């Protein structure tokens, strides 16, 4: 996603007439969801799991993953341990120290793009978050953008909520770079409300 004003014409709220029967704008499938994933480095911005197109149920973790289970540990491609849901301590499930032949795989961490406000036609950059399937479901069940939130936001979430606050409280559609540059000012708007 390029940080220029013309991009705001693509990353915007679409009219019903600009959307298909699935509720997404035509440009969603061809461009937007792919750009959002690329902007996030093809990994979940919340837990860091990398995206492997076509990986299916199991996909390899790397050193940037911060999520817990369910996972499995493999030694030379054979399952050596099962790491249950809620457990992040995968090394305690192995009898041997991690080595070149050891790898972790997470279950159902396919990269999606979540609309934070739940509206498929709203494709403003601050509403679109690259999340793995599990993080997507957790955030979808917890985050309500219109709910006043007087506490600190998670680091990964701060730019998105700053963009949202600019739009809602100030009526300004900012680029991500503009929102990040004004982050402290924008995040303070919620506490003043």
d(CA 172, CA 5): 12
What is the tens place of the pLDDT at every residue in 32-73? Answer: 999 999 999 999 999 999 998 877 889 999 889 988 888 888
**Nearest alpha-carbon partner for 175 in 32, 36, 3:** 3
Q: What average pLDDT does the structure give for the chain?
A: 86
User: Which DSSP state fits 139?
Assistant: H
Tell which wins on pLDDT, 192 or 7: 192
Cα dihedral 167, 169, 171, 175 in deg (nearest 10): -30
Q: How many CA atoms lie within 13 A of 125 on its CB side?
A: 26
Which tens digits make up the pLDDT trace of 130-144? 999 999 999 998 999
What's the whole-number mean pLDDT along residues 94-111? 71
> What per-residue confidence (pLDDT) applies to 4?
45
What does pTM read for this prediction? 0.84
Q: What gap in Å lies between CA 51 and CA 192, rounded to an integer? A: 38
pLDDT bracket for residue 193 (50, 70, 90): low
- Per-residue pLDDT at 146 exceeds 80: yes
Neighbouring-strand partners of residue 111: 132
Band the pLDDT of 192: cuts 50, 70, 90. low
């Amino acid at each position: 996603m390029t940080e220029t004003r013309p991009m705001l014409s693509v990353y915007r709220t679409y009219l019903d007439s600009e959307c298909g029967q699935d509720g997404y704008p035509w440009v969603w499938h061809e461009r937007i969801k792919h750009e959002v994933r690329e902007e996030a480095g093809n990994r979940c911005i919340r837990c860091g799991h990398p995206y492997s197109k076509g990986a299916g149920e199991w996909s390899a973790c790397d050193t940037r993953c911060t999520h817990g289970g369910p996972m499995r540990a493999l030694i030379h491609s054979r399952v050596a341990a099962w790491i249950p849901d809620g457990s992040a301590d995968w090394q305690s499930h192995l009898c041997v120290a991690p080595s070149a032949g050891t790898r972790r795989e997470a279950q159902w961490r396919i990269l999606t793009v979540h609309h934070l406000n739940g509206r498929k036609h709203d494709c403003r950059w601050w509403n679109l978050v690259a999340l793995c399937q599990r993080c997507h479901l957790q955030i979808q069940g917890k985050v309500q953008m219109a709910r006043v939130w007087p506490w600190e936001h998670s680091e990964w979430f701060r730019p998105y909520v700053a963009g949202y606050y600019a739009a809602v409280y100030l009526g300004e559609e900012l680029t991500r770079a503009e929102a990040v540059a004004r982050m402290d000012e924008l995040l303070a708007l919620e506490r003043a409300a």
